[in-house]
Structures are given as C-alpha cells and as structure tokens.
Structure 1
C-alpha cells in the first residue's frame, strides 16, 4: 500500500512540474519570435523621428494664422468723378498700396452729358476700413451719396496649408533624388533621375508661387469704386415741382395695379377654374338640351297651325 502511494506521489509531482514549465516555454517562444525572427525587421530609428516630425507639424498647422482675401465694392455719387478717381489713387499710395486699374468715360442721358469713373486699388488689409471711410467722405451728400457698398472675404488658409505640405514633401523627394544621382554611375539612370529632379523642381516653384500669391492677396485687400456724377442721378426740379418723381411714382402705381390684376387672375385660374369648368360644361349641355326641346315644340306647334281646317260637309235641307 505504501508503495502504491509513493508511485502515485511521484507521478503527481511530475505532472505538476510539467504544468509549471509550460507557461515559461510559451512565453520564451513568443518573445523570441517577436524580436529575433529574421523575417521581421526591427523598426528603424529614422521612421520614429519622422513620426515625431509629422506630429510636430500637425501641432504647428493648427496654429496657422488665418489667411482671408478681402474684397470691397462701392458705388458713390460725387461732384466730379474724375477728380474723385485721382484722389483715391493718391490715397492708395499714401496708405502703402497701389492702383490696379482706372478708367473714366462720358455718358449721356436726358439731362445732358456726365462723366463716370472707376478705379481698383490694393491696400494693406489692416487699413481697409480707413480707406473705405475716406472714400465715403468723397461723396457730395455724405452717407446718402454712397449708392451701394459691399464687402466679402475668402478664407484660403486650408489651401495654403495643403500647398505648404506638398512643397515640403517635394523638397524631401528632391533631396533623395540628388543623393541618388550622385551615387549613380550609369548614364541612362543618371539622365532619368535628372529629368525627374527637374520636374520636381518645376512643381516646387509653381507651388511656391501659388503660396506667395495667397499671402500677398491676404495681406493686400482690393477695393473697386465706381464714381457717378451727382447731377446725373439728381431728379429734375422746376419751382419745387419734380416731374421725374411724379412720373416714377405714377409708373410704380401702374406696375402695382397690373401686378394686382395678374395676381387675381392667377389665383382665380388656380382656385376657381377646377370647379367652374365642370359646372360650365354641365350648364352648357343642360342649356343645349332645353333649347333643343323648345325648338322641337315650336316645330310641332307650327306644323299644327299649318294644317288646313277640316270643314264638315253640310247636308242640304229637305223640302217638304
């Protein structure tokens, strides 16, 4: 009995020892396979540095200053449009800007011949409000002389950041191509690398030019101004009577009346016609049937009176 217990104890110890070694063997196998297997190369240090550089770029791009291209359009009535145009040109130079284009012409209406002028300028964006206020002051009637005014802005920050990223990637590719060309001894391969290097450099220059345009457009706002002579838009006045105003009001009333009639007809055709058409058709057929019946009766009556009267024969009297 003791012998059997001893054998059983030895077997149990062997099983426990095997189970205790199994996890250690499995752990050693995984560790060796993940680090020492020849088919899986170790991650190079350069790729880790590149990841850190990209992370730093993403953080920096979030703080990119907004680039907004601002544009303003104004239409102002002045005493002398040509003189106002030259005043705006001088103002642009004083504010650190420049003139893009300018034009003056003459126009004729029922009141006579008048001058008109237009000018487009670029000025620093931070001075846009100052420049627009100076242009308003050129008006002959103050704020009433500003016939129209509008401002708009286009955010090009995303376009600028994307272009900058493309330039950086192309410059990195350019450096690799230069290293490859220096280490290549074959003439044919050298020419292929040179052509690719030239194409990459051209693309970089184009993208840098686009970035420069975006920066300059965002830093220099454009103002387009159209000057008209005050006398050309001023109504005719004779002894306090303004026939132009009266004619304009009369024309407006005529348009309002015509619009009201058109609205009534449109509402009538949409709301009432779907119901009136069936009723009209029914009334038409009923009237037609009644007329037909009356005509038939009239024919019968005419035929009746047209017959000759029937005279009964008179028997001769008998003589006694």
Structure 2
C-alpha cells in the first residue's frame, strides 16, 4: 500500500512538471515571436533612418564639395540714337556671331516717320564689356544704359545637392525593384521611381538653364533713327532752268496734241467735208454767175 501511494505521488509530480514545462515552452515561444517582430520593426525603422541620414549626408557632402565659384546672370539694357538703324542691326548681328554669341530677337517699327528697332542678343560673359563699348562708340548718343547682375550661386549649389540625393534614392529604388517579388510591391516601387525621376528631370532642366544664363549675358538694345528726313522739293522751289525745260516740254506736248486732234478730225470727217465743199462750191459759182448777169 505504501509503495502504491508513493508511486502515485511520483506520477503526480511528474505530470505537474510536464505541464509546467509545456506552459513555459509556449511562453518562451511566444516571447521569441514577439521579440522577432519587434526586431523586424526596429530594423525597418533603422533602414528608414539610415536612408534619411544617407540622403542628408549626401546633401552636406555635395555642399562641401561644390566649387566656390560665383554664378552671375548679367542683363544689359541700352537705348541708342543711330543714323542708320538697318546698318547698325547688321553690324550688331555680325559682331555677335564673331564673339560666338547668338541673336534672340529682332523687331522694327516706324513711328512719326522714324525707324525704331530692337535687338536682343546673348554674348559670352568674358566679351560683355568690350561688346558694350563697341556699340556705344558706334552710336550718336547713349540715351539709356543699365547693367544688372543676379547671383544664382546658392540656388545652383542647392540644385546640385538635391540632384545627388535624388540620384541616390533612384539607385536604391532600382535595387528594390530588382528584388521585389510581389506585383503590388513592384507597382508601388515603380510609382515612387517615376516621381523621383520626374524630380531629377526638373532639377537637371533648371541647372541647364542657369548654366546657359550664367555663361551668356543678355543684352537688350533699342535703336532710334536720328537721320534727317529731307522732304520733296515743291515745283515753285525748283531751279529756273528746270522750270523752263518743264514749261517748254509741256507746250510741245500741248501743240502736238492739238495738231493730232486736227489731223484726226480731217481724216475722220473727210466724207462730210467733201460733200460740204462740193455744195459750198456750187452755191458760190451760182452766186458768182448771178452777179455777173446783173452787172451786164
């Protein structure tokens, strides 16, 4: 009996130990699963933070490595009085081409019997001062002269930094796209990549615009014609010899017109004139005979 009791007691202890072990195993398994989920979340957060940090570092490194060269956009405005506006336009155009510049716009209008023209050219910055002196020397008078400069160095540096950061994000999205397995993930990555590439194109376009504007200065030139407009000389102001010549020519023309009219009349109405001549001659002969009879 004692042995039986002792055996049952040992069996109960064993069963209780097994239950406790199973509960402990389930608890540990649950804790391990929660821990794995937390690690996954933390890893994802760390990746995002690392991505933002990398982008920020790329911006800072780009700013530090950017050359400290000033980028200035120059604009020049002139209003000049010129004797020959058309010749001046041709001269400015030829000189612009010689300096490896180019013409942007030309226009001309007539106001109050005077020619006004406008030409816009872009000249390399290193040739701007010499070009302005040349056009001033060719003019009769400089009515207006204005030269301004706009510093776009900070904007260009910021664009370079943003471009480098966007390029980094683009490379990472391309890597994600290669490793993506689900169609939904692939679509999301493609949308994000399209937006990043659009931003890159906008930044590159703006940088090209600033490169061109800082390499070539814009010169806006307005030209006013100051040549003397000589009016036509009236007939009363002509010289005496010219007036005599014109009067003689007019008299000859009138005489020729009269003779031509008489000749045309005689030839054209000759049948009627012949009949009238015969009738008149007959009447004259009859009257003459009658007078002779009366005298005799």
TM-score, with structure 1 as normaliser: 0.53
Shift in CA distance, 49/104, structure 1 to aligned 2, threshold 3 Å: closer
Kindly indicate whether the alpha-carbon contact (under 8 Å) linking 2:59 and 2:164 is maintained by their aligned counterparts in 1. no
Quote the offset at 1:52 in angstroms: 7.5
In structure 2, C-alpha distance between the alignment counterparts of 1:55 and 1:201, rounded to whole Å: 21
Q: Do structure 1's residue 82 and structure 2's residue 86 form an aligned pair?
A: yes
SS at match of 1:96: coil
Kindly indicate whether the alpha-carbon contact (under 8 Å) linking 1:80 and 1:115 is maintained by their aligned counterparts in 2. no
Q: Do structure 1's residue 190 and structure 2's residue 186 form an aligned pair?
A: yes
Map 1:300-311 to 2 at 5 A.
none
Shift in CA distance, 85/54, structure 1 to aligned 2, threshold 3 Å: closer
Map 1:93-242 to 2 at 5 A.
93-108=97-112, 113-140=113-140, 145-231=141-227
Give the unaligned 5+ runs of structure 1: 1-38, 233-320
Shift in CA distance, 52/227, structure 1 to aligned 2, threshold 3 Å: closer
Shift in CA distance, 50/166, structure 1 to aligned 2, threshold 3 Å: closer
Quote the offset at 1:170 in angstroms: 0.8
More helix by share: 2
Shift in CA distance, 83/204, structure 1 to aligned 2, threshold 3 Å: same
Aligned to 2:275: none
TM-score, with structure 2 as normaliser: 0.57
Higher relative contact order (CA 8 A, sep 6+): 2
Give the unaligned 5+ runs of structure 2: 1-38, 229-296
Aligned to 1:57: 62
Shift in CA distance, 213/55, structure 1 to aligned 2, threshold 3 Å: closer
Q: Which deviations, in whole Å up to 9, do the C-alpha atoms of 1:1-58 show, x marking residues without a partner? A: xxxxxxxxxxxxxxxxxxxxxxxxxxxxxxxxxxxxxx999x99x8999888666434
In structure 1, C-alpha distance between the alignment counterparts of 2:216 and 2:124, rounded to whole Å: 4
